[in-house]
Each structure stands twice: as structure tokens, then as C-alpha cells.
Amino acid sequence: MSNVCPICKKDDALQKLSSIASSGSARGSFSGSSVGLAHIDGKWGTTSGSSYLSGTLTTDLAKLCAPPKEPVNPRNRMGIIGSLVGTLPIMLGIFMLTLDIGIGKYVILGGLATLPFLRWASTSAIRKYDDEQSAWALKMAKYNKLYYCFRDDAIFNPESIEIFPPADLADFLKHPSNPPHVVDD
Ligand SMILES: [Zn+2]
């Protein structure tokens, strides 16, 4: 199966979005062609050189074509912060008591009192992360289907024939799913 651009109906100027982003510049080999393709100042063309394509424009395209950012897993971070915040006052309080400093027991109690809060904070951070993670996975599934046509400066999904400029990628990925075809009467 070969993909063709829905605008120019050709496959010689296509590159998978993920490979544009990972190469950091818009160049490479394309289906049925051994030369690189460049898109400079609104024009596209073929080239066999590599220096031709180094420029801000290709970098900008790679940036626009970058995949959605993966959320950071809070589990490790929460563990470190939580054990520090939770155990420090208790350790300090015990240390104060060994020095016969009376308020040491209040420091210990204060440390114990923060534990349920820490537990709640880490649980909600992890829940939020899990939500973000599944939203990100959906975005990646959409993203991995997308192609870019250098000739038309357009991104498209060959399955659903959705076409849009690279600047609209973030908006496109934000939609929870492809809009259903609604038939009005
Ligand atoms: Zn095209």
C-alpha cells in the first residue's frame, strides 16, 4: 500500500512526521526517490547535498512536527520529596528530644500530621499523571499516522484524509478523536 498526498495526489514528496521530527531537519529519502527534498522559502525542490538543507526553516519545520511531549512520571520525584518532608521533622524532633529540647515532641507530631497530606498529594499527582499519560498515548497514536507533503507544506492523515498546515498540528492532536461524520438533514 502506498500513500499519496490528498492535495497533489503524488507520493514523491512525502515524509512521515515522526521521521522529520527525529532527524531534526526535513530531509531524507522518500518513497520512490533517492534524493532529498527541501522546502525553503515556500518552495520545494530536490537535492542530493546535505548542507543545502541546514537552515532555520527546516529546523522550524522539525519543531512544528515534533511529537506531543510525554508527561513526566511523578512517582520517583514524589517518593524522594515525600520521604524528605515526611521524615525530616520526625528525625529532627527525635534529635531535639535527645538534647532535652522540649518542643521536639511537637516537631515530631507536626511531621506525623503532614503524612496524610503527603499521601493525598502523591495520590492525586499520580492520578493526574495517569490521565495525562493516556491522553498522550492517544495523541501519539494519531501523530504516528501523519505524513507531511513538502510540495504542499501540508500534514495529512492518509486514513481519514484530514489535511492541515504544520502550525495546526498541536490543535489537531488536542481533539480527543477524529470528529465523526455527522449527516444533517
Ligand atoms: Zn502534496
**Would you say residue 180 lies in a domain?**
no
What is the 131 CA–ligand 1 centroid distance (Å)? 36
Q: Is the pLDDT of residue 34 over 60?
A: no
What is the 11 CA–ligand 1 centroid distance (Å)? 7
**Would you say residue 179 lies in a domain?**
no
How is residue 81 annotated by DSSP?
H
CA 117 to chain centre: 30
Q: Whole-angstrom Cα distance, residue 71 to residue 59?
A: 24
Same domain? 50 vs 87: no
Same domain? 88 vs 118: yes
What is the 37 CA–ligand 1 centroid distance (Å)? 13
Query: Total structural domains in the chain?
Result: 2
Same domain? 150 vs 135: no
Same domain? 79 vs 65: no
**89 or 22, higher pLDDT:** 89
The fraction of the chain above a pLDDT of 90, given in percent, is 23
Same domain? 98 vs 129: yes
Q: What pLDDT, on the 0 to 100 scale, is given for residue 56? A: 43
Domain membership of residue 104 as a residue range = 75-140
CA 134 to chain centre: 12
For the chain, what is the mean pLDDT? 76
Same domain? 65 vs 151: yes
Q: What pLDDT, on the 0 to 100 scale, is given for residue 38? A: 57
3-state secondary structure of 53: helix
H-type helices in 99-151, by residue range?
104-143
What is the 46 CA–ligand 1 centroid distance (Å)? 14
Residue 32 contacts residue 4 (beta carbons within 8 Å)? no
What is the 158 CA–ligand 1 centroid distance (Å)? 12
Write out pLDDT tens, residues 136-168.
999 999 999 999 988 888 999 988 888 999 999
Same domain? 132 vs 151: no
Q: What pLDDT, on the 0 to 100 scale, is given for residue 153? A: 87
- Mean local confidence (pLDDT), 12-16: 85
What is the 139 CA–ligand 1 centroid distance (Å)? 23
Q: What pLDDT, on the 0 to 100 scale, is given for residue 143? A: 94
Q: Whole-angstrom Cα distance, residue 60 to residue 130?
A: 31
What is the 3 CA–ligand 1 centroid distance (Å)? 11
